[in-house]
Amino acid sequence: MQSRISRSLLPLFATTALAVLAFSIVTAPAADASTPHHFQWESAIAAFEAADKTNPPPRHAIEFLGSSSIRLWTNAPAQFPGHTIFNRGFGGSHLGDSVAFVERVVIAYAPKIIVLYAGDNDLAAGKSPEQVLADFKEFVRQVHRALPETRIIFLAIKPCPAREKILPQVQAANQLIQQFMLKNRRLTYVDIFQPSLTEAGRTRPELYMKDGLHPNETGYRLWAGILRPVLNKLDPPRK
């Protein structure tokens, strides 16, 4: 008798348990709600450090740093002959993530020049142009506190088809950063924004991969052509 009653109650217990579990999932706070944004890139930074143990990049070289548009610029060394370049782009990072990892991905290498691209992921995530500027200022402050002679080149935030709706914010952030950089001889603003627009002020799909977000070979060729004379002036290429 008792076993029959117990068996009959099993579906009820199972249903109740599932309901409690569902309630706990819904009501529990999100696990990553208070987790800093940069934590998601820890494995990428650790991978750089592991590789550095056997094949470290040269010190006092030119570092390309930033988000996936830098990470995917794999042929950059070939596009800048006479320069020693290494790449430390990671994930879909924000500018603030480069600040968070500055000791490990910048100071550790003591680069003479940093070519930085970041900011559009920040704006797409809802950050304001003023927040992007604040993160850039903090990046500059931390770099120059440790490496006072290092030059920093900021590649303007690109106008891409996938994010055409935030063009006003992109333009505003670029203008704020450019104005700030005018005050410091160690900072150089490189405008890839305007050349990436049509005469009508629209984005140019032919410069991007199918995702409408990352530059394709044509896009990187455009970037390289704009950046090359700047690098050559700051760091005359070896013959």
* Alpha-carbon gap, residue 17 to 114, rounded angstroms: 56
Helices (H), 147-212: 167-181
Domain ranges in the chain are 37-234
Residue 216 pLDDT > 60, yes or no?
yes
- Of 48, 112, 105, nearest to 85 by C-alpha is 112
* Alpha-carbon gap, residue 117 to 115, rounded angstroms: 7
- In this predicted structure, which of 17-31, 187-201, 222-236 has the lowest mean pLDDT? 17-31
The pTM for the full model equals 0.85
* Residue 114 vs residues 3, 17, 45, 91, 96: alpha-carbon distances, Å: 74, 56, 17, 18, 16
What was the pLDDT predicted at 33? 59
Instruction: Assign a CATH topology to domain 37-234.
Output: Rossmann fold (3.40.50)
Residue 11 pLDDT > 60, yes or no?
no
| 103-122 average pLDDT score | 97
